[in-house]
Amino acid sequence: MKLLLYMTDFIVPLVIFGIVCYGIMMKVNVYDTFIKGAKSGFFTVIKIMPTLVGLMVAVGILRASGFLDFLSELIGEFTKYIGFPGELVPLTVVKMFSSSAATGLLLDLFKEHGTDSYIGLIGSISMSCTETIFYTMSVYYMTAKVTKTRYTLTGAMLATFAGLAASVVLAGMY
């Protein structure tokens, strides 16, 4: 076990070192290529900033208005029969839009129920096995100028529900 912990300390530096060595072997100007990529990434961030701000404002409004609590009570009546606590409904909904806002909700759940509670365990597991669907789709599709998303949303929703089901099962095993 200590070997794995020791190895994880060196994974990122070794990957960076490997990329630099590969670039040198291929006779690529590594620094100039890095600067060019960083510049491109910076302009991408500038392009997607309005989308990010809009998502953050929308999540803030939903949270402050009490809509998420209303949704929790409404949907929670049905989800409790499948073992998914209603308190986690707002976390699940917000996670589809913003991971950082969902982290704030998860911390609130930890304060109220505890980290080792059934709700805390499901919340922790679901945060790691679900994706920010609408954020990811809007940012990446806007950047790549994709107009026809085909089955992306359906597939992402199915994957999210599979992750939530896995969260319930795994938390129940603990």
pLDDT per residue as tens digits for the range 25-81: 999 999 999 999 999 989 988 887 887 788 778 878 887 898 888 888 888 888 888
Q: What is the pLDDT of residue 94?
A: 87
Q: How many domains does the chain have?
A: 1
Does 112 score more than 90 pLDDT? yes
> 161-173: per-residue pLDDT in tens?
999 999 999 998 8
- Checking if the pLDDT of 106 tops 80, the result is yes
Domain residues for 111? 48-173
Mean pLDDT of 84-112: 89
In a domain, residue 64? The reply is yes
The pLDDT score that the predictor gives to residue 44 is: 83
- The answer to whether residue 89 sits within a structural domain is yes
Could you tell me if 72 and 89 are in contact, meaning their C-beta atoms sit under 8 angstroms apart?
A: yes
pTM of the model: 0.70
71 belongs to a structural domain: yes
Tell me if 115 sits within 8 A of 107, measured CB to CB. no
CA dihedral for 123, 8, 132, 161, sign (positive or negative): negative
d(CA 90, CA 78): 14
Write b or e for each residue in 145-159: b if 16 or more Cβ atoms lie within 10 A of its Cβ, otherwise e: eeeeeeeeeeebeee
More confident residue, 144 or 169: 169
Whether residue 154 is contained in a domain is answered as yes
The per-residue pLDDT of the chain, averaged, comes to: 88
Lowest-confidence region among 15-19, 94-98, 142-146: 142-146
Report residue 23's pLDDT band, with 50, 70 and 90 as the boundaries. Answer: very high
Model confidence at 137, pLDDT cuts 50, 70, 90, reads confident
Asked whether residue 17 is domain-assigned, the answer is no
Between residues 22 and 130, the one the model is more confident about: 22
Residue 111: what residue type?
Answer: K
* Contact status, residue 97 vs residue 59, Cβ threshold 8 Å: yes
Q: Is residue 4 part of a domain?
A: no
Task: Tell whether 23 is covered by a domain.
Answer: no
Asked whether residue 19 is domain-assigned, the answer is no
pLDDT of residue 13: 93
